[in-house]
């Protein structure tokens, strides 16, 4: 009876979550066709080696007419990591195989099926990242606050935009692996994972963090703190066997890390004839010894946290309420370094992207701060309702900002020219936009300007009376595959059980090694 009830319960959860997910895709999923700079480079690093059998990205990348200098190998450089493309590659390959079978003439890597499946792949990694955040929150709070925090990580931050509007970016993949580092650390500290698994787990996931965003290496403070504590205890007790075990784990970490990042090293070698280099140009950072944009990160009206992502700011404040002293120190150090790094950037505001996107990778740590600050006040039933109302306001505020940005080309929404340049834009546009939406809510369902018809949401297209079925292909295929994504998320819990996790980790190592070999020989055979 118990087993049957559990199975039925899981089925009900699956159907409920699938229904909600399909509805969200129906209302909100419309991947923009803006391929300028970042998305075009991320996508080029998967399409070019698979479709063109080379590493010449000139026919995929778009730089707004700006000519890029050629490297020593007469190719253009890519300052963006290759990790997102490799992680999307299973979805890309599925699209390629289906297209080759059904419509071989469209197997060019650009047709709608490719875009749809790669987008749904990006959403899949983001969904896994939210599941990991939920697991992290359960260490510090009950199911209610953990679910609510996970929803806020999606809806009250730019993660929503980079899942449903611009999924061809690195943010969802990096969210997953930064979250896994924190989850592995917490599980090791609580003896839920044997220390013999620490080296390979930390090595693989830290490598994937680096492969998806260069700043992902900062999260290495978590494994560093774990091993320093281990070393301190071993030296204090003069436990030679423990010291030897520590050394073994560090060797395993280093080897697995090197295997995981090897595709990036090979790509650099093919492009520059060098295995190691600094990918970002000198123009990326300010010419100052101090991070002059540090305060802007918090208080600037153009994407400062206070005005563009209050939820993230609450998470910052909550770090000081974390009860675990060591975790509190590590989290504060990590986020301080991240803010300093952003403060050194010329485009600290996120360039042409939406919102406070550089903090998406920090959401797993910020969620701990939020739960630690808010969770202990939820014993009273009325406070749960207060938090729920506050959460709805935070999500609504983020959607308001997204809508104003997407429609900024029209008068009265957002001064886009000042927005893109990181200049002050004030708060008046937020108030005016809110009044405009409250007065005429039907404009929420207008097509986004300068976005192709086949990139609008299904709901908007239907309400606009569009009858051309081709317009519905990209969002329709993504919505069709949504139940499989939900099923994959449900399977993730079983796959990551202790007896399976090493096998999964080894498969990841093998897959990345295969990519390294392929990148080394592609275009030479």
Does this model's pTM top 0.85?
yes
Q: Please, are residues 41 and 78 in contact by the beta-carbon 8 Å criterion?
A: yes
The two three-digit tokens of residue 213, written as one number: 């965003």
Whole-angstrom distance, CA of residue 322 vs CA of residue 312: 16
pLDDT along the chain (525 residues), means of 10: 60 94 98 87 96 93 82 92 98 98 96 96 98 97 95 98 97 98 97 94 98 95 96 91 95 98 97 91 90 97 98 97 96 97 96 96 98 84 88 98 95 94 96 96 94 96 96 97 95 79 94 97 82
The burial class, CB within 10 Å (0-12 / 13-18 / 19+), for 72 is: exposed
DSSP, collapsed to helix, strand or coil, labels residue 70 as: strand
DSSP, collapsed to helix, strand or coil, labels residue 192 as: coil
What's the confidence (pLDDT) of residue 525? 57
Element holding 326 (H helix, E strand)? helix 325-344
Paired strand residues for 76: 70
Q: How many C-beta atoms lie closer than 10 Å to residue 473's C-beta? A: 16
Whole-angstrom distance, CA of residue 357 vs CA of residue 56: 29
Whole-angstrom distance, CA of residue 490 vs CA of residue 338: 32
DSSP, collapsed to helix, strand or coil, labels residue 76 as: strand
Paired strand residues for 74: none
Whole-angstrom distance, CA of residue 401 vs CA of residue 416: 12
Q: CB under 8 Å to 146, separation ≥6 — which residues? A: 134, 137, 138, 371
Q: CB under 8 Å to 157, separation ≥6 — which residues? A: 309, 311, 312, 355, 356, 359, 360, 363, 398
Q: How many C-beta atoms lie closer than 10 Å to residue 193's C-beta? A: 18
Domain boundaries, the chain: 18-521
């Amino acid at each position: 009876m118990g087993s049957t009830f559990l199975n039925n319960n899981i089925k009900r959860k699956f159907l409920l979550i699938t229904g909600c997910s399909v509805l969200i895709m129906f209302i909100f999923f419309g991947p923009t066709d803006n391929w300028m700079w970042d998305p075009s480079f991320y996508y080029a690093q998967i399409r070019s080696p698979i479709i063109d059998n080379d590493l010449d990205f000139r026919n995929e990348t778009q730089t707004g007419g700006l000519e890029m200098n050629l490297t020593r190998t007469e190719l253009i450089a890519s300052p963006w990591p290759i990790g997102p493309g490799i992680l999307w590659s299973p979805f890309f390959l599925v699209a390629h195989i289906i297209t080759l079978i059904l419509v071989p003439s469209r197997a060019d890597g650009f047709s709608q099926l490719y875009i749809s499946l790669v987008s749904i792949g990006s959403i899949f990694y983001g969904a896994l990242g939210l599941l990991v955040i939920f697991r992290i929150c359960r260490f510090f709070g009950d199911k209610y606050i953990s679910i609510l925090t996970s929803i806020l990580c999606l809806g009250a931050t730019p993660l929503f935009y980079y899942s449903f509007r611009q999924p061809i970016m690195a943010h969802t993949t990096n969210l997953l692996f930064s979250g896994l580092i924190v989850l592995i650390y917490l599980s090791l500290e609580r003896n839920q994972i044997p220390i013999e698994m620490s080296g390979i787990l930390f090595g693989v996931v830290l490598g994937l963090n680096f492969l998806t965003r260069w700043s992902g290496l900062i999260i290495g403070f978590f494994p560093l703190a774990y091993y320093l504590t281990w070393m301190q205890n071993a030296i204090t007790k003069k436990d030679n066997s423990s010291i030897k075990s520590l050394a073994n784990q560090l060797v395993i970490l280093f080897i697995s890390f090197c295997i995981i990042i090897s595709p990036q090293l090979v790509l650099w070698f093919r492009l520059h004839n060098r295995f190691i280099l600094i990918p970002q140009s000198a123009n990326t950072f300010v010419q100052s010894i101090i991070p002059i944009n540090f305060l802007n990160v918090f208080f600037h009206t153009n994407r400062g946290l206070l005005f563009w992502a209050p939820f993230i700011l609450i998470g910052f404040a909550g770090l000081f309420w974390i009860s675990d002293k060591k975790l509190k120190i590590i989290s504060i150090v990590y986020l301080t370094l991240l803010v300093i790094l952003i403060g050194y950037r010329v485009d600290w505001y996120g360039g042409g992207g939406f919102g406070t996107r550089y903090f998406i990778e920090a959401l797993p740590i910020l969620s701990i701060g939020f739960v630690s600050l808010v969770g202990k006040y939820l014993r009273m039933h009325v406070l749960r309702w207060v938090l729920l109302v506050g959460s709805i306001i935070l999500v609504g505020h983020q959607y308001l900002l997204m809508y104003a940005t997407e429609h900024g080309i029209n008068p009265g929404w957002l001064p886009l020219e000042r927005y893109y340049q990181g200049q002050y834009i004030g708060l008046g546009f937020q108030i005016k936009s809110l009044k405009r939406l409250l007065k005429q809510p039907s404009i929420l369902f207008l097509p986004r300007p300068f976005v192709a018809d086949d990139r609008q949401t299904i709901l908007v297209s239907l309400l606009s009376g569009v009858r051309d079925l081709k317009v519905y292909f990209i969002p329709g295929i993504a919505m069709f595959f949504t139940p499989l994504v939900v099923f994959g998320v449900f399977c993730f819990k079983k796959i990551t059980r202790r007896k399976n996790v090493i096998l999964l980790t080894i498969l990841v190592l093998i897959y990345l090694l295969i990519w390294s070999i392929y990148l080394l020989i592609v275009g030479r055979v």
